Amino acid sequence: MRTAYITHADCLKHEMGDWHPECPRRITAIEDRLLSRGLLDLCERFDAPEATIEQLARVHDRDYLASLEAMAPSGDDYAEVDPDTYMNAATLPAARRAAGAAALASRLVLREGFSRAFCNVRPPGHHAGRRQAMGFCFYNNAAVAIAEARALGVSRVALVDFDVHHGNGSEDILSHDDSVLMVSTFQAGLFAAPLAESAAENMHNHALPKYSRGDALREVVQSNWLPRIEAFRPELLVLSAGFDAHRDDELGQLGWLDKDYGWLTAELSAAADRLCGGRIVSVLEGGYHLDALAGSVEQHVRALLAVD
């Protein structure tokens, strides 16, 4: 199972303040865990390139991209995008690396003989809409991966978004796009509610009640996600992989465990093997309790690699 691991040191330089949960230690917690368990030895490592303006402009308005550049601070200053989202001087280079990792991942699995790719990058992306940054996100990395795949000739991509928060930016960009099927789970009533249920036929959003556990996830996957993915017959699966639905993560009130992420990834991997030659691009989204994040990503990567 040829698997790519994509990251970059620039992703450690983006800072939003010592108090902020979306911190550089997320990257190192994941990498340290994967290294200590021998899983990185089973992957081929790549440094993420910076996404080009053309790659970003496939999913974001050029005026929005220019406005981010104009807002970028210098020195030790911070620029406030919203009450939860800040930029420092290193933010946009890091964000371009994160988006570039996603684009590279699509190219590796579609043209270079890889079956899987995992992008250990930040800032995350699934709250970034066509014209707006929010929720710790600046560029929509998953949407960039999908746009890159389409530029390479793919006609159908399934986006699977599992995070305690809804991927509203991905929905904004991809609604009514018949080449994309998006399925998602998130906690009901938290930040970033989905559009009206009837907004787009290619969007299938499943709000889970707070304090529900992994069995609620499994019901959605088995009764809804997998039949829809099977019927859609994608040529690529892209995962917006958030790990903040974990029981120990304080940003939500869902009760998932490390093993739930392993089970979910194994189910999606089996679907990819049946439908699209095993091709999966996984891009890191949420997950803020460092031990829970590291353990959950370990199970995620184990399932991508198909190792115990």
The catalytic residue positions are 127
CA 195 remoteness from chain centre: 19
CB atoms within 10 A of CB 131: 14
Tokens of 269: 């991997």
The C-alpha R_g of the chain, in whole angstroms, comes to: 17
Most distant pair of Cα atoms in the chain: their distance:
51
Sign of CA dihedral 33, 128, 141, 282: positive
Q: Which residue has the tokens 């990058």?
A: 121
Sheet with 44-47: strands ordered across: 44-47, 3-7, 116-119, 280-284, 236-241, 157-162, 180-187, 203-208
